[in-house]
Amino acid sequence: MFFKKVEENIELWGSEKDDTEPLLPSLPTHRTFDYVLVANKVDNEQKALRQEAFIAQLKKKNIQITRIPHDNKEFFGLRAPSAMFEDYQYLLKVSDSCNWCGDEKGAVTQATRIRIVHFILHNTYINTGENLEELLMKDVFETMFCLHERKEQKKLRKKWARWTALFRGQPVNHIKSYFGEKVALYYLWLAWYTKLLVPAAILGVIVFLYGLAFFNTNPLIKEVCDSNITMCPRCEKRCKTWQLSDSCTYAKVTHLFDNEGTVAFAMFMAIWATLFLELWKRHRAKHVSKWKVYDWCEEEEELIMELVNDPNCKAKQFRHSYLQSTLVLILVTLMLMLIIGLAHALVVFRVVAAPLMSESKWDFLKDNANLVSVFLGAVLHYITIQIMTRVNRWVSLKLCDIEKLNSLAATERSFTVKMFTFQFFTLFSSLFYVAFFLGRINGHPGNYVRLAGYRLEECHPSGCLTDLFIQMAVIMLLKQTLNNIIEFTIPWCKRLVNEKAAKKLERKCGYCYRKACRDENGCIEPCDICKLRDWLRNYHLASSDAFSLFNEFLEMVIQFSFTTIFVAAFPLAPLLALINNIFEIRLDAIKMVRLEQRLVPKKTNDIGVWTKLLEAIGVLAVIANGLVIGITSDFIPRLVYRYHYGPCAKGKLNYTDCMEGYINDTLSTAYMNNSNFDAFINPWESHNFSVTECSYRDYRNENDYSLKSQFWLVLAVRFAFIILFEHVLVLCKFIAAWFVPDNPTQVKNERLQDKLTRLKDELREKKLSKSTDV
């Protein structure tokens, strides 16, 4: 009852009530064509023969073809026969999983017609064994597309695909009727994700404000800003010693994100991720039950369409080859090694860039060499992501070709897992280095670890969390902002350019004076001029394909990863995600409805393998945030100092703050008379005076640089915290998953009643047929 009320409240707040929209709109008039093929007029005899052979194969399947030449192109309007859809409806009725969707009786929707014709086009072969995909690659045909229905398109523009509807809900029933269940479920999931981001964003802002409230009064910040401690050079030969007080601003920024509030926030986000997924499953179940696709099976529908296309077809057999699996596994491993190698290259860039910039003539670069190198590394990482996205897609497709799976749905699942894995490693390899290795494997004075002849980077005395925050903020802001600008601008610019070409071509079409052609509700076949004008309008829109929706899902799931996995380092990530998603929903809607050719409607009952990936991200978020708090942040060292080494632990109650002296306690001292300093300039110079000793961040003895007992105590507490944190949160996640059932009781009862009604109808029909026979 509680979760039902929560869901109702969320829906009332964020979803548009569209009960007036029919779940199964009536059959469109015969004016509408199911698909359009476009070909350039060719002089090449071989291409012409292939073109005619393909058209002949379509005619054998009784597909009506309207051929209209225009300028240097030929347009082929395709309309499938009603018998084809009757066969489809009958096979749905007798199928195991698709027999209660409602499509097995009544009118066939235009979305269903497009989906079936799309499948038939891609599974029609000429005598050379080539299908449409191969003919498109060989330029026998230029392109193919399905048509927008102008009346429905106008409705979607008015209520959904416009910027003024920014804070309105999604008309998911209308989207489902026009674009199919797959697109509708994407917007349903995205809207749900955006709504559930609101409490996470609010709490993230509160945690940020908590850090801001003690910006100037925190004793740790004061200790850094008022310090007279001289720090060891950040690099060899070129760098000089520096004063800890010079990094006062850096210490303040670190405290904004490395405070006690981030621990509680990380725990909250781990539980939030679980509740989000469990509540989404309930939300999805309610809608797919309403759409009558709860038990829908994509593989079974694919088999039905195979039969509709070719009654003599043979089932694609399941195959498994250990050789193929081994080959794919080896290639995936090599690809991941390449991606990790690129992350190492970024580390080398940062290691080399910092000392080189410290020699710069510009004072800003010289004084902030480390900070600038972090920013440049993040920007370079973003550029690497853009390049590797294309490489990852190509490799994933080739690996799927090697696997040769028996259905399109299985191929799509395999491609999704591979592509996401490659993208995840591309985006997060560098972040994992910054979070868990930066400043921990760099050695100590006189025995520094080097890479490409340069010393590895060190963490700031205030901690390493700011480096992770900068890396995340730059990538997240650049990725979301630039991607959205590019995503919207390219189709918009194409539309502007193509509109001019389209108007020229439309002028050549002539003008139609028939009133019936302009009546969108009429049933009269339009003239060739009106057909061509409509086809040209669709032809000049930006092309869309199977990757269009996949790219949107991938972008959002990667964002979900950023929002949950390293949220302890960046509490404002949910806020940025929320702001982005509010615009993303409307941007995608405008793009799909107004700027792009119509997506092929696909019927499904879930977001597919993305659900499993989101669950895996939720588990990884618990592990990663536990490691970030336990290893990356200074939460544990501060805790140990407060209760074991600090003034309060020693019984000095007259101290105003228990953390006084913490920064100095985390530093070790290096002396110039030590024989380990052959690699340094002797003596070190800083501000025109000689320095005989300096400090660096570590728990080491001054004489032999061996680790202090304090280091081992802190390390033990770190591990204990990580184990406790992860076990408690995993237990909470399991309890939350058990406590929130996937299917609402209402949905179960409705499905039970629906099945009973269908069985009664079948029994009634059987008795009626018997009485008729008698």
Confidence band of 675 (pLDDT split at 50, 70, 90): very low
pLDDT at 688 over 60: no
**Does residue 136 lie within any of the structural domains?**
yes
**Does residue 369 lie within any of the structural domains?**
no
Dist CA 260 CA 750 (whole Å): 48
Dist CA 359 CA 363 (whole Å): 9
Q: What is the DSSP string of 667-727?
A: EEEEETTSGGGTTS-SSEEETTEEESEEEEES-B-TTT-PBPHHHHHHHHHHHHHHHHHHH
pLDDT at residue 4 in the model: 53
**Does residue 114 lie within any of the structural domains?**
yes
Give the pairing of strands 230-231 and 73-79: unpaired
Cis previous bond, 683, omega within 30: yes
**Does residue 322 lie within any of the structural domains?**
no
- 113 lies in which domain range? 35-147
If residue 120 lies in a helix (H) or strand (E), which one and from where to where?
helix 110-122
Question: Region 535-541: what's the mean pLDDT?
Answer: 87
- Residues 79-95 as b or e (16 or more Cβ within 10 Å = b): bbeeebbebbbebbeeb
8 Å CB contact between 270 and 622:
yes
Between the CA atoms of 679, 682, 684 and 689, what dihedral angle is there, to the nearest 10 degrees? -170
Confidence band of 237 (pLDDT split at 50, 70, 90): low
Boundary (domain end) residue, out of 122, 147, 172: 147
CA angle 764, 768, 770 (to 5 degrees): 120
Mean per-residue pLDDT over the chain, rounded: 81
Confidence band of 15 (pLDDT split at 50, 70, 90): very low
Residue for token pair 């992770």: 468
pLDDT digits (tens, 9 = 90+) for 552-595: 899 899 999 988 988 888 888 899 999 999 998 998 999 899 88
* Percentage of the residues of the chain whose pLDDT score is greater than 70: 84
**Does residue 601 lie within any of the structural domains?**
no
pLDDT at 3 over 90: no
pLDDT at 686 over 60: no
Boundary (domain end) residue, out of 125, 147, 169: 147
8 Å CB contact between 634 and 463:
yes
Confidence band of 192 (pLDDT split at 50, 70, 90): very high
pLDDT digits (tens, 9 = 90+) for 411-430: 888 999 999 999 999 988 88
**Does residue 575 lie within any of the structural domains?**
no
Within 8 A by CB and 6+ apart from 247, the residues are: 224, 460, 461, 462
Q: What is the DSSP letter of 445?
A: T
Say how many domains are in the chain.
2
pLDDT digits (tens, 9 = 90+) for 596-652: 899 999 988 899 899 999 999 988 988 888 888 888 888 888 889 888 888 887 666
pLDDT at 679 over 60: no
**Does residue 506 lie within any of the structural domains?**
no
**Does residue 85 lie within any of the structural domains?**
yes
Alpha carbons within 13 A on the beta-carbon side of 143: 15
pLDDT digits (tens, 9 = 90+) for 516-526: 555 555 456 67
Report the Cα–Cα distance between both ends of the chain, in Å, rounded.
52
Boundary (domain end) residue, out of 117, 147, 177: 147
Question: Region 721-750: what's the mean pLDDT?
Answer: 86
pTM for the model stands at 0.85
pLDDT digits (tens, 9 = 90+) for 333-375: 999 999 998 888 887 887 777 777 766 677 667 666 667 777 7
Confidence band of 176 (pLDDT split at 50, 70, 90): very high
